[in-house]
Amino acid sequence: MAHPARFRVVACGRRWGKTELGKVALLDAARRGGLGWWIAPTYGLADAVWRSLRAALEGVWVEKNEQMRLVILPGGGAIQVRSGHEPDALRGAGLDLAVLDEAAFMPEEVWTGAIRPALSDRRGRALFLSTPNGLNWFYRLYLLGLDPLQPDWASFHHPTRDNPLIAPEEIDAARLELPDRWFRQEYEAEFVEDAGQVFRNIDAVCTGQPGEPEPGGRYVCGIDWGRVDDYTAFAVFDVAARRLVALERFRQISWAQQRDRLRTLCDRWQPGAIWAEANSIGSVNIEALQAHGLPVRPFQTTAQSKGPLIEALALAMERGEITLLDDPVLRGELNAYALERLPSGLYRYGAPPGMHDDTVIAVALGWMGVRHAGGPLSFA
C-alpha cells in the first residue's frame, strides 16, 4: 500500500486477503477525491465485491447507483465496480486508481486496451491482484516489477500462509490432498509453467500389461458410458496390487450389447464393486445391471464431484502409488487432459475440443473403487 510505484503487482495465494487489500486501496483513493475502479473477470465476481463494498460504506456515501455499481463519497471521490468480461465497455473514463482483481484470469486487452490509457491523463495508479495462472500476461507484468530498471513497477509475492487468519493445519492438509504443482500455484502463488496439465509421471506409471484373474484376487471396475460420439470404457483394477489389469473401449453399439459386454467382463474378473457414471443414460444402465445382480454403484458426475475424483488419480500417479497399462489411447488421453481454472475460482476438467476422456474417467472411477474397496461381493 505504501510503495510509491504507480503499478503494483501482487501474486498471492488463495484466501490471502487480496479483496480486503483492494477495497482499502480504493477507499484510500476515494477519500482523497479520486475516482477508482474495481475490475473483476466476471459479472458474478463483480457483484460479490459490489455487495461487500456497499455494506462497508453503508451510511457514508452521498450518492449510490445500484445499476452502475457506483458510490460517491463526501468530497467527490467515487468507487465503481466493473466487469472485465467485455474490455471495450471499459474505454473512455479517466481514473486515479484501477484495481484488477484476479488479473491473470481476464483478457490482457482489459489492461492494454482499456485501463492503461484511462490512467494517462491523471497519471493514475494500478493494483494487480491475482493468483498465478501459468506464464501468461500477468506473469510478464510481475517480471516488470522485479526489474530495477522499471521504477514505475513493483511486484510482491504472498503465499496463503502469510494470512494469519488461515490455520497452518489447513494449508498442510491441502498440501497432502493436492498435486504438487496445483498446491504451488494456488497456495504458494508460484508461476508454474505446466499448471494446466492434470496428470504427470505418466511414463513412470503406464508400464503395466493386461493381466489374468488370480484365485483369491480382489478386483473393482470403473465405467464411463458412451454410445455414438463418445466411447464406453471399462477399467478393471487389482485392489491389492493397485494395478490396472484390463481396459476395454468401444462405441456405436446398443446399450443392451454394452451391458452384455460388462456381464462377460464381470464373469471373468468377479469385481467386488463396479463404479459407474450415473449421469444421463447411465442411471438406466445401472438399474438394469443391478437387476441382474451386478454390484454396480452409481457416481453422479458434477462440477463438485469431478474435481476430487480426478485429483485423487493425479495425486496417485504423481506419487507413483498406482500402475496403469501401457496403452497408447490411455497415454494420449492422460497427456491431453487439462485443468482450467475459471475466473470464478472454480476448476473445469476435461479433454481438449475434439478429443476424448473416456478411459481417463473409467480409470479414475476404478481408482476410487480401489481406495474404497470393501470385501468381495457375490453376484449372479
3-class DSSP state for residue 275? strand
Axis crossing angle, helix 303-318 with helix 358-371, rounded to the nearest 10: 80
Beta-strand relationship, 63-65 and 70-72: antiparallel
Task: Single out the residue of 17, 39, 42, 112 nearest to residue 345, CA to CA.
Answer: 42
Axis crossing angle, helix 282-291 with helix 255-269, rounded to the nearest 10: 50
Residue 198, pLDDT score: 86
Distance CA 177, CA 133 (A): 20
Enumerate domains of the chain plus CATH numbers.
7-186 (3.40.50.300), 202-371 (3.30.420.240)
C-beta of residue 366 within 8 angstroms of C-beta of residue 241 = no
Local mean pLDDT, 10-residue blocks, the chain (380 residues): 95 93 94 93 87 88 91 93 82 88 91 92 95 88 88 95 94 87 90 76 94 94 84 94 94 88 92 89 86 91 87 93 92 84 70 83 96 52
Q: Is 305 buried (19+), middle (13-18) or exposed (0-12) by CB count in 10 A?
A: exposed
Distance CA 130, CA 11 (A): 5
Residues in the chain: 380
As given in the structure block, the three cell numbers for residue 18 are 487480496
pTM above 0.85, yes or no: no
Query: If residue 83 lies in a helix (H) or strand (E), which one and from where to where?
Result: strand 78-83
